[in-house]
Amino acid sequence: MEKRLSDLSKYELEQEIQALHERKRKAEQMGMVSEIEVVLRRIAIAESYLIDPSSFRPGETYVVNYNDRPFRLKFVNGVMGWGTFEGEMTERAIPLSELSEVKR
């Protein structure tokens, strides 16, 4: 039975991330677009477990790796940052590994 990401040690998480990158590479070779997206999301979530959630401050604005619009963080729950993109009302959950501070 596969362990949950939250139960893995740092070393085990790093091994899982390497295995996921290999799985992504194979999916790319086979042209499996939906599999690539699933694996990329799992990589982002696994990488989020290696980040200290307390380093993210609610009310601050961040940049999401795949989106140029500013993301206003409302709160952090586990390894997900909840907030809204500029100009939107819909709240979204973004893995912490995909958030970068806005350079001022």
Residue 59 and residue 40 share a domain: no
Are 46 and 64 found together in one domain? no
Q: For residue 77, give its domain range.
A: 54-101
pLDDT greater than 80 at residue 103: no
54: helix, strand or coil: helix
Average pLDDT, the chain: 93
**Looking at residues 73-86, what average pLDDT do you find?**
96
Q: What is the pTM of this model?
A: 0.87
Q: Indicate whether 59 and 76 sit together in one domain.
A: yes
Q: How many domains does the chain have?
A: 2
Which pLDDT belongs to residue 67?
Answer: 81
Q: How confident is the model at residue 1 (pLDDT cuts 50, 70, 90)?
A: low
Rounded mean pLDDT, 27-56: 96
Q: Which residue has tokens 């790093």?
A: 14
